């Protein structure tokens, strides 16, 4: 089975985030970067499927030259090879453009499965995997908790609301967006790190794939929310104070 995994490089979670002077994105001058955590779970699921069924795991990543660090990390964990869609520094793509780029890059590979994380840790749109399925004409399922390969199909367990789950069978090829936390993530071994240096990374230029790179979704600005301190003390006995608190939460905060 050939499994493609879409990964993304995002700012590290412990980075000090600052908005750039233009207000369009983050100041990237001193940020540290890492693999998007939801994508790490998609990679782990792909590697475990490969260990059970054989085949290969192909990594897909769209990003600047800096993203090769994250690609090498995926190869060190056990992926066989990678395709890097190189983008220009400062280029911001919406989920549809990203999906079209990744779909174009992988279509000649004809994978049986494409796995993505549920969403990215930076933008958090949660749309790229679903849009890739639409562009490629593949079946798809989201919020996947378990994957069971069958002859010509795949059976998945999806997480729904209120503790409910759904089991669905999909024809191959298919795109699955993987829920975080379904498996324990592995670390790259020293041997894996050494092998990663010799594994193939195919580079494709984003502006040479024949894709319209103009985004359909425009990000107007990002900003740090203003800090507003508000407090209120409820007087009276505990029952009266509790009644007042419930009224505030229900009719003003609207969280009940």
pLDDT tens, position by position, 116-156:
999 998 888 899 999 999 999 999 999 999 999 988 999 99
Helix axes 37-53, 68-77, angle to 10 degrees: 30
CATH number for 173 = 3.40.50.620
Residue 245, classed as helix, strand or coil, is helix
237 is a domain residue: no
Nearest CA among 201, 195, 232 for reference residue 70: 201
Least confident of 34-38, 111-115, 186-190, 237-241: 237-241
pTM of the model: 0.83
219 is a domain residue: no
End-to-end CA distance of the chain: 48
Would you state the pLDDT for residue 250? Answer: 87
Across residues 157-162, what is the average pLDDT? Answer: 91
Across residues 86-105, what is the average pLDDT? Answer: 91
Would you state the pLDDT for residue 255? Answer: 78
106 is a domain residue: yes
Q: How many domains does the chain have?
A: 1
Across residues 219-232, what is the average pLDDT? Answer: 79
218 is a domain residue: no
Per-residue pLDDT at 83 exceeds 90: yes
248 is a domain residue: no
Domain of 27 in residue numbering reads as 2-208
Residue 68, classed as helix, strand or coil, is helix
241 is a domain residue: no
64 is a domain residue: yes
By the 10 Å C-beta count (0-12 exposed, 13-18 middle, 19+ buried), 49 is classed as buried
């Amino acid at each position: 089975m050939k499994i493609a995994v879409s990964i993304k490089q995002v700012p590290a979670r412990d980075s000090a985030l600052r908005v750039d002077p233009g207000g369009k994105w983050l100041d990237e001058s001193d940020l540290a970067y890492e693999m998007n955590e939801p994508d790490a779970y998609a990679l782990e699921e792909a590697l475990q499927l490969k260990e059970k069924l054989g085949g290969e795991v192909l990594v897909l990543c769209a990003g600047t030259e800096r993203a090769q660090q994250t690609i090498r990390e995926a190869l060190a964990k056990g992926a066989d090879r990678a395709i890097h869609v190189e983008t220009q520094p400062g280029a911001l793509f919406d989920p549809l453009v990203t999906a079209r780029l990744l779909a174009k890059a992988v279509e000649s590979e004809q994978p049986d499965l494409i796995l993505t994380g549920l969403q990215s840790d930076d933008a958090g749109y949660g749309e790229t995997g679903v849009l890739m399925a639409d562009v490629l004409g593949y079946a798809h399922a989201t919020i996947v908790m378990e994957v069971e390969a069958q002859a010509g199909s795949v059976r998945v367990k999806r997480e729904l609301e209120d503790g409910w789950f759904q089991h669905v069978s999909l024809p191959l090829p298919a795109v699955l967006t993987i829920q975080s936390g379904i498996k324990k993530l592995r670390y790259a071994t020293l041997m894996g790190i050494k092998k990663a240096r010799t594994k193939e990374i195919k580079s494709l230029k984003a502006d040479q794939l024949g894709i319209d790179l103009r985004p359909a979704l425009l990000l107007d600005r990002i900003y740090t929310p203003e800090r507003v301190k508000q407090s209120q003390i409820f007087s009276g006995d505990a029952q009266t104070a509790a009644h007042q608190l419930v009224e505030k939460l229900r009719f003003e905060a609207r969280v009940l």
